[in-house]
Amino acid sequence: MERQQDYVLRTVEERGVRLVRLWFTDVLGQLKSFAISPAELETAFEEGMHFDGSAIDGFSRVQESDVLARPDPNSFEILPWADDDGTSARMFCDIDNLDGTPFEGDPRGVLRRGLDRAREVGGYSFFVAPEMEFFYFADNDPSRPPEPLDTGSYFDLTTADVAGDMRKRTIAMLESMGIPVEYSFHEDSPSQHEIDLRYTDGLSMADNVMTFRLVVREIAMEQGAYATFMPKPLAGVQGSGMHTHISLFEGDENAFHDPDDPYNLSDTGRAFIAGLLHHAPEITAVTNQLVNSYKRLIVGYEAPVYVSWARNNRSALVRVPVTKAGKASSTRIEYRAPDPACNPYLSFAVILAAGMAGIEKGYELPDESAANVFEMSDKERAAAGLRPLPQSLAEALDAMEGSEMVAEALGDHIFEWFLRNKRSEWADYKAHVSQFELSRYLPNW
């Protein structure tokens, strides 16, 4: 770590960095930042920087408000966009109490704790690769319907595709910040796009997702447009997901790979899937945290609705992609429920905890759902033992509240704050009278 700190201090001096922006997230996954001068950097590494935690959602109470932000030198990057104050850099921070112990309200700390536990229990390293979907609109004025920038569909390439240029510029900026991209393309819905990030360890990827969302918005704003990660901004078309590819490694070996298995899937991989399926309803409030999230998780829009797994079947909640011959490292599973508005630190933490529960408790993997789950009747799904995911934020919160596994993964502080905050959101939603209700009922009732 000291070597990395030295690298940061040297780079800041050599590149003429004027401000170092310290980044962290609140419990909902909103990015927060404050800036320090290079002269404060050594102090920040050695002692951390004080700030008022009571001003951050889900952090401290007023009477115990101060916390410390400790920059992680491994996350240092020069910011590639223009800044009036000169060259800037950023580092993500871990949040500590004043006595130096980890702060329980820090989402990054929650994920770090889960990753440490996986290493202690089985020597596992957790790797993820999310597929990030989002929409471009003309603006973010909520008083009128969103205005897409194009009418393209899946994989469309058009010569007058202004959004395609934004996507290209976004990828160039991400790669200049050390965030490699695997694929990008126009998604199925008008003005919907997807950029897939190349896999890395869970903590780095959660940092990358936070950076990704900022970069996508920055580039859109630069072009006079608006980018949103709202899961379902348009009715009648597909919403945006964050399908997450997952693997565990033991050293250099992929713990999910077994060359003698018909699916190339090891007992560890099967148990991890079984854990995800067993606990899926309990973790859904975290991976899909908005009222709007549940307007994506409905039949007919390629989003998972039922707790099931399959090899190449995109109607399943967990998919096992076919791997390339002789490439053991590519054996992985895809969890298709999360949406891009989630807090990635908390989402990766509960996904890992659910999978690890499957390994530690020896859960058995149910039969594969080879058929299109969407086309099965209720009777057929019941006969196959397929449960639905929660159908609303309220149902998801009920499932989460009864989960010892989620409470342990998040810690009491975030678990209780999250439930309280989201219950309040649901209460506000229930009290709201929508345009749908006015249009449907007012003329006749």
How confident is the model over 99-114, as pLDDT tens digits? 999 999 999 999 999 9
CATH of domain 1-100: 3.10.20.70
Query: Average pLDDT in the 31-56 region?
Result: 90
Over the stretch 139-175, which tens digit does the pLDDT of each residue have? 999 989 999 998 888 887 765 567 888 999 999 999 9
pLDDT at 354: 98
Q: Rounded to whole angstroms, how far apart are CA atoms 225 and 8?
A: 34
User: pTM above the 0.75 mark?
Assistant: yes
Evaluate if residue 62 carries a pLDDT over 70: no
Position 178 confidence tier, pLDDT thresholds 50, 70, 90: very high
Q: Is the pLDDT of residue 64 over 90?
A: no
Cα separation, 3 vs 108, whole angstroms: 22
Q: What are phi and psi of 422, to 5 degrees?
A: -75, -30
What is the rounded distance in angstroms from the CA atom of residue 62 to the CA atom of residue 130?
Answer: 36
pLDDT number for residue 438: 95
What H or E segment, with its residue span, contains residue 217?
helix 202-222
Task: Give residue 158's pLDDT.
Answer: 63
Identify the helix (H) or strand (E) that includes residue 182: strand 181-186
What is the residue-wise DSSP string for 305-345? Answer: -BS-EESS-TTSSEE-PPPPTT-GGG--EEE----TTS-HH
Q: 1-100 and 112-439: same fold?
A: no
> What is the reported pLDDT for 161?
63
Q: How far apart are the first and last CA of the chain?
A: 68
- Nearest Cα neighbor of 396 from 313, 294, 243 is 294
Q: How confident is the model at residue 361 (pLDDT cuts 50, 70, 90)?
A: very high
Q: What is the mean pLDDT of residues 350-378?
A: 92
pLDDT score for 52: 79
Residues 56-89 as b/e (b if ≥16 CB within 10 A, e otherwise) read: bebbbeeeeeebbbbbbbebbbebeeeeeeeebb
- The tally of CA atoms less than 13 A away on the side-chain side of residue 224 is 2
Q: What pLDDT score was predicted for residue 157? A: 73
Whole-angstrom distance, CA of residue 345 vs CA of residue 94: 12
pLDDT in tens, 25-40: 999 999 999 999 999 9
- Whether 417 contacts 59, CB under 8 Å: no
Place of tokens 């901004």: 233
Residues 252, 125: contact at Cβ < 8 Å?
A: no
Instruction: Convert 11-44 to b/e letters by CB count within 10 Å (16 or more is b).
Output: ebeeeebbbbebbbbbbbbeebeeebebeebeeb
- Angstrom distance (rounded) from CA 387 to CA 307: 5
- What was the pLDDT predicted at 308? 94
Residue 52's contacts (CB-CB under 8 Å, 6 or more residues apart) are 60, 65, 66
State yes or no: pLDDT of 337 exceeds 60: yes
Judge whether 368 and 271 are in contact, CB under 8 Å: no
- CB 205: neighbour CB atoms within 10 A? 25
Distance CA 277, CA 254 (A): 21
Per-residue confidence band for 269, with pLDDT thresholds at 50, 70 and 90: very high
Residue 409, H or E segment: helix 404-431
Range 419-442 average pLDDT: 96
d(CA 12, CA 18): 8
Q: pLDDT of 69-84, one tens digit each?
A: 999 999 999 998 766 6
pLDDT at 82: 64
Domain 112-439 adopts which CATH fold? Creatine Kinase; Chain A, domain 2 (3.30.590)
User: Which residues face 52 on adjacent strands?
Assistant: 66
The tens digit of pLDDT for each residue in 224-242 reads: 999 999 999 999 999 999 9
Eight-class DSSP state of 205: H
Domain boundaries, the chain: 1-100, 112-439
Amino acid 379: pLDDT: 87
Using CA atoms, how far apart are residues 210 and 24, in angstroms rounded to an integer? 9
